[in-house]
Every structure is written in structure tokens, then in C-alpha cells.
Amino acid sequence: MLYSSLLKPFLFKMDPEKAHHLVIDGMAACGKVPGLGGLMHAMYGVSPAPELGTELLGIRFPHPVGLAAGLDKNGVAADGFSSIGFGFAEVGTVTPKGQPGNVQPRLFRLPPDEALINRMGFNNEGADAMAASLSRRKISRIPIAVNIGKNKDTPNELAHEDYRACIKKLYEYGDFFVVNISSPNTQGLRDLQHGDELKKLLGAVMEEMGAQATKRGGAAKQVLVKIAPDMSDEQLEHTVATIMESRVSGIIATNTTLSRDGLTHKHAGETGGLSGKPLTRRSTDVIAAVYRQTGGKLPIIGSGGIFTAQDAYDKIRAGASLVEIYTALIYKGPGLLRELTSGLVECLRKDGYRNIAEAVGADHR
């Protein structure tokens, strides 16, 4: 109620990017102001539900609803997002060197469509800055994933070196890692999803993860690849096959879309990646296609257009073991986490499942 009646009207009167920074600064304060993290957890934290706890990638997740990458680009607010009810969170996308991203304005709200368009362009302070931020974490309630990318001025033939550099600097700070090759806002990046370039990139990533694990004397941390929703069926099939061959741990489906089907707002013509409700169906379809192709053997995190518990449950039944939100958080506020998790419990009980793992891929059985 506080968000919808007071905070949202205030934030939605501001420029979207300024509002974004205000929120991130506020969430970052949770790790700096004594007692604030506990207060936020009391206000918004999600009560444990045995049905929703799950283990994936060798990691225990309190429930399956996480934060997608893009909101906390520099890892400064990990304590805050750990305190408001998420089951896990992605930070980033981070690049080896800091970069300003694309020119402003570059973030647009489309309220009638419950959507966002962004063309941020991997604006971030760089891997060293993120390492410093994550090293100062005080709250460790949930797993944190580090989403990595390449700098804008790095040619695709050298992209693998950027991903290696991010892993070297951030390995000890992430519980798992996400390779972002699907943002539409860095020119040529999506070309890395296909053919020999993807094979070379993932080979380098897995080699570096192994090297870092050997250096520390433990098992390598898990890596997922984030894919686009705009591939043809044939392109998707080839991409998934390459990912499977690479020994990568899983797939995040999906990133933002270039489609503008059905939009009504005046910002519909803005370039960039579209997120929110218009992506709901397509991302679920991609999850189902990946699950079918992999026989359910490759873990999937579902992302794109989750606004209700049924949206999340549809993605789980399609094959996702975990799900992520972003745009819905902007439109509905942190109370959404309790709504989603309590709704998922009801969905499981209605279908007679004892836990979330039993529902994964149910539509294929």
C-alpha cells in the first residue's frame, strides 16, 4: 500500500533514470545504516514456505523468485535486495572497464502496456568497482549472481577476453555467474549467441571458471547463459545445442525483446529492449522450447513479464526451476514478492504438488 499510494506516484513523476538511481541509492543504504536492513526485512520479507525452498546448481534457494539483472548494475544494493523478500538476485551487467552507456534519454515507461523500454548500453562502473561493492556486503540472506558482459569498444573476436576479465575479478563474490550475450543495446552483442563465436566464448568462460576454482581448491561455480527471445526456432535450437555442448550449467530465458507487437503508448517507437507484460507469453514459449530440447536436463531460469503468481507458475510448469522479475517490481513495488510467493504456494496446493521442484516442466508430462 505504501508503494502504490505514495512512492509510485512520486517516482513516476520523475525522469525514469533519476527515479532508478534514487531507488538504488535507497536500497544501498540498507548495508550502511544500522538496523535499516532489519526494518526492511520486517516490512517486506517473505515468510519461509517449505514448499518453495529448492536446491539448484548446488545452491539452496529459499524460494524461486529472484531479481533480474539490470536494476543493480554495480552491486551496491545487494544488501537492500536481500532484505525485501527476494529468493536470489542478479547484479550487473558488469563489464571489465567502466563505461557510460548510451546517450540519455535511454529509459522509458509505458504505463498502459505495463512495460519498459531501455537502451542503457551496459552503463556501469566496471568490475573493480563491483568487486569493492560486493566485498562490503553485510547481509547474506540470499544467493547473488554476477551478470557479466563485454565493453562496447571490444570487438566480438576479443569478447571472450572481457568475460574472462570479469570472472577473474569477481569470482569470489558471486554464488553463480550469468553470461549476457543477449542485450539488444550493445551493437553486435547478440551475434555472440550463434555458431563458432558462441562456442569460443563459452569455452573461454568455462576454462576461466575452472582456473579460478583450481586456484582456490574447490569446485567451479556454476555459469548460466542469458538468451534473447527474438531468435527463430532454428536459431534457438542451434544456440541451445551449443550451450549444452559447452558444459554450461543452465540458461536464463529471456532477455528483453525488440518486438513492439500490441503496444499502445507513445514511447512504443523508442529503440531498445522491451520488458514487461508484452513479453510474458513469448518468454514462456522459449522456456518450453528449451526444456523440450534439453529433455529437462539443463536448468532454466525464467524471466520476462512476470506480474502475477500465475505468470510465474506458468513459467515453472513450462520448465523453469527459478524465475526473475524486474519491470513488475517497478510497477507494483516490493509487496509483489509476498504476493508471488503466497500465490505460488496456492498454485502448488491446487495441483497437488508437495514442492516447487515437482511442478517444474509439468506441462511436458
Q: Which residues does the annotation mark as catalytic? A: 183
Report how far apart, in Å, the C-alpha atoms of 255 and of each of 280, 281, 360 are: 11, 13, 21
Contact 115, 327 (CB under 8 A): yes
Edge-to-edge strand ranges of the sheet holding 115-118: 107-110, 115-118, 273-276
Helix (H) or strand (E) holding 199: helix 195-216
DSSP 153: T
Single-letter amino acid, residue 155: P
Helices 280-294 and 309-318 pack at an angle, to 10 degrees, of 20
DSSP 46: P
Distant-in-sequence, close-in-space partners of 295: CB < 8 Å, separation ≥ 6: none
Phi-psi region of 112 (alpha: psi -120 to 50; beta: other; left: phi over 0): alpha
Report how far apart, in Å, the C-alpha atoms of 133 and of each of 78, 136, 249 are: 9, 5, 26
